[in-house]
Structure 1
Amino acid sequence: MSQSEIILIRHGQANTGAQDEESYDKLSATGHQQSAWLGDYLRAQDTAFDRVICGDLRRHQETAAGLALSQSIAIDPRVNELRYFDLAREYQAQTRKPLPSSAEEFAQHAPQLFTAWHAGRLDSAHESYRSFADRFGQVMSELTELGGRSLVITSGGVIGMAIAQHLSLGPEGFAQVMLPIHNSSIHRFSIAQGATQMASYNGTPHLDAADRRHARTVI
């Protein structure tokens, strides 16, 4: 099997004040800036990709446009994010627990939510946990078979699930991996002779300068 590298990028910061999927699905001014800085970084590294894949969500495509890469971009809805607000509202209806209103509350809420989702209690509101895991797993398998260097512009939940599957983590582990993922961050998997290794997690080299650290966002 040929060697390959799969690089996953989380979209830039989206509309953080949103209360539903549709209004969340657009980049903030900070998200546009993060994407432009990341594009500058990738070009400075003289990075070339054999293929670039992007979800069909608006925030994915705005991030891809901000990167301003020379390669053509393939749209694949299998790299779309889970619908958090739909899951959270169904969970609220079942448990009467309020939706989180802060980062601290979200950190407590997400493991409980994903555990309920994993148990099949939220499937009426969303695709199953297994379906979500499997659809991006199929993409990873296909990219591994193709070889070369692949760039995937996606979301934190997809990246977190890819890592959770690689490390054989359950829903609580998935939540803990996903929660710290920065907007526009870089995550690398390297594959050689059939063995996959996670080479890097949550890299933000384009935001490391002191005058850019304010742009390290997770929500």
Structure 2
Amino acid sequence: MRIGYLVRHGQASFGKKDYDALSDLGHLQARVLGRELAAREITPDLIIRGGLRRHRETADGILQGLEQHVPVAVDEDWDEFDFQHVMEVHKPLYRSRALMLADLARTRQPKAAFQAVFEEATARWIGGGHDEEYDESFPAFAGRVEGALERMTERGPEKGTVLVVSSGGPIGLAASLLLAGDTSLWGSLNRVAVNTGVTKVIHGRTGLNLSSYNSHTHVEHDRELLTYR
């Protein structure tokens, strides 16, 4: 592999019973990205996706937009961390979906309130002082993403292109590893991830290098297409 594109999934169904399903807008975002890739004559030799429904549906939408046959492989190490579990450990009230939605609704800005709790919960998870309380510690999450990133370089033709469909967490983690050599930038990078944002990496003589992060020119022309959650 010479070039890799890491794509965050389309908008999922925030606040719905099955968050993992793409919203109607999420499906459209995926197709728009596929059409943009086709217009730029970028056809990957291989698509690797995580094992979540939103990854599968995003990959399907990209393929519809591309109008090309591309083989698809699944690597579950590109899956997002279980943010619901991380939030529940931090705020046990949120083990009840109904109570969580009611708590967020009281703020009159549920998406902003969710983001605030999310950042508090992930800061505790990252802190490392309570690793035993989580099904997957932050170091374990970082380790599996690093492994997935390494495997990506071994997939596809030697000078080919691989497109990975994943989530904001793994992609931000991968970008932090490539930029800083550690996970220190993960929080800042993850915070600004756009749905179907594209991160480009290049595999050369010095190994894997980050070329661009979270590019989303394909949705900037339409404010309704530009979403972060």
Structure 1 residues 107 and 32: alpha-carbon distance in aligned structure 2, compared to 1, 3 A threshold: same
Equivalent position of 1:158 in the other structure? 170
Matches within 5 A, 1:61-140: 61-68=56-63, 69-93=68-92, 101=104, 102-118=110-126, 119-140=128-149
Is 1:141 matched with 2:150?
yes
How many angstroms does 1:120 deviate by? 4.8
| Matched pairs, number | 208
d(CA) in 2 for partners of 1:67 and 1:159?
Answer: 18
Equivalent position of 2:228 in the other structure? 218
How many angstroms does 1:84 deviate by? 0.4
Task: Give the unaligned 5+ runs of structure 2.
Answer: 94-98, 105-109
Once the two structures are aligned, what percentage of the paired residues are identical?
28
How many angstroms does 1:162 deviate by? 0.9
How many angstroms does 1:107 deviate by? 4.6
The answer to whether the Cα contact below 8 Å between 1:91 and 1:122 also exists between their aligned partners in 2 is: no
Equivalent position of 1:192 in the other structure? 204
The residue type paired with residue 143 of structure 2 is D
Which stretch of structure 1 is more off in the superposition, 108-117 or 75-84?
A: 108-117
- TM-score when normalising by structure 1: 0.85
Structure 1 residues 195 and 76: alpha-carbon distance in aligned structure 2, compared to 1, 3 A threshold: closer
The correspondence for 2:29, drawn from 34, 38, 57, is 34
Name the SS of the counterpart of 1:24 in structure 2: coil
The answer to whether the Cα contact below 8 Å between 1:87 and 1:122 also exists between their aligned partners in 2 is: no
d(CA) in 2 for partners of 1:108 and 1:159?
Answer: 21
The answer to whether the Cα contact below 8 Å between 2:142 and 2:183 also exists between their aligned partners in 1 is: no
Structure 1 residues 72 and 86: alpha-carbon distance in aligned structure 2, compared to 1, 3 A threshold: same
Equivalent position of 2:11 in the other structure? 13
Structure 1 residues 194 and 137: alpha-carbon distance in aligned structure 2, compared to 1, 3 A threshold: same
The answer to whether the Cα contact below 8 Å between 2:87 and 2:122 also exists between their aligned partners in 1 is: no
Aligned-CA RMSD value: 2.4
Structure 1 residues 197 and 56: alpha-carbon distance in aligned structure 2, compared to 1, 3 A threshold: same
d(CA) in 1 for partners of 2:132 and 2:39?
Answer: 44
The answer to whether the Cα contact below 8 Å between 1:107 and 1:179 also exists between their aligned partners in 2 is: no
- TM-score when normalising by structure 2: 0.81
d(CA) in 2 for partners of 1:112 and 1:168?
Answer: 24
Task: Give the unaligned 5+ runs of structure 1.
Answer: none
